[in-house]
Homo-oligomer: A and B are copies of this chain.
Amino acid sequence: MKLSKRGEYALRALIDFGLTQELGRPLLRVSELAAKEGLPIKFLEQILMQLKAAGYLESRRGKHGGYLLARPPENISVGQVVRLIDGPLAPIACVSQTAYERCSCPDEEHCGLRMLMLDVRNAISNILDRFTLADVVEVTMRKLRRDKVPLPFALEPLMTQPSSRPKSSKRPKKINGQTSTEKVPI
C-alpha cells in the first residue's frame, strides 16, 4: 500500500512549485528544492524531467534557470500525478481501470480479494482524484498563516517582485474530513 519515494518526492516538489507560484516566485532551481525538502538532488532531477515530459513542468536553462509549473494548479489532479509516477492507484492490477490485467486467480468474478480491493481502489480514488494541486496548496497556505509560520521560499531575494496575483477564491473543499475517530493502528 505504499507510495514510492519517487511519487512522494514528485508530489512534494509540485506542492512547492504551487506554493512559490502563489507567492510570486514561480521559478525554482533543483538545488534549492532539494535543499529545502531534503531530497537527493540527482534523483529529484530525474523526477522533474519526468514531470516536464508529462507536461506538468517547464524548464529554463542558463543563469536564471530552473523549473516552474507549466499548467495552472487547478488543472493538476493529484491522482493523475500518482498514476504517472507510480502506475495505477489500484492495489492489484485486476481492479484497475487504466491498466487492467487479468490476475492469476482462476475465477476473477468470484474472487473475495478482488471485491475487497475494489473497495480500497474506490476509497483511494475518491480522495486522490478529487483533490487538485490548487486545493492542497490552498489548505497548506491557510495552515501556515494560521500558525503564523514565516512563509517558506520568501528567502532567496532573487528578483523580488511582489506581484500578488489575485488568488483563486474557490470553495475550500475540506481536507482531512473524517479524521480517524478510532484507535485502529495503520
Contact = CB atoms under 8 A, between A and B. Distances in A.
A127 B137 contact: no
Interface in A18-55: 36-39
Contacts of A78: 116
Given A3-B1, A90-B186, A91-B1, A37 B113 contact: no
Copy tally for this chain in the complex stands at 2
Interface residues of A, number: 69
A115 interface: yes
B87 A112 contact: no
Interface string A97-111: 110000111110111
Contact of A39 (B8, B104, B125, B128): B104
Interface stretch (A59-67, A154-162, A163-171, A174-182): A174-182
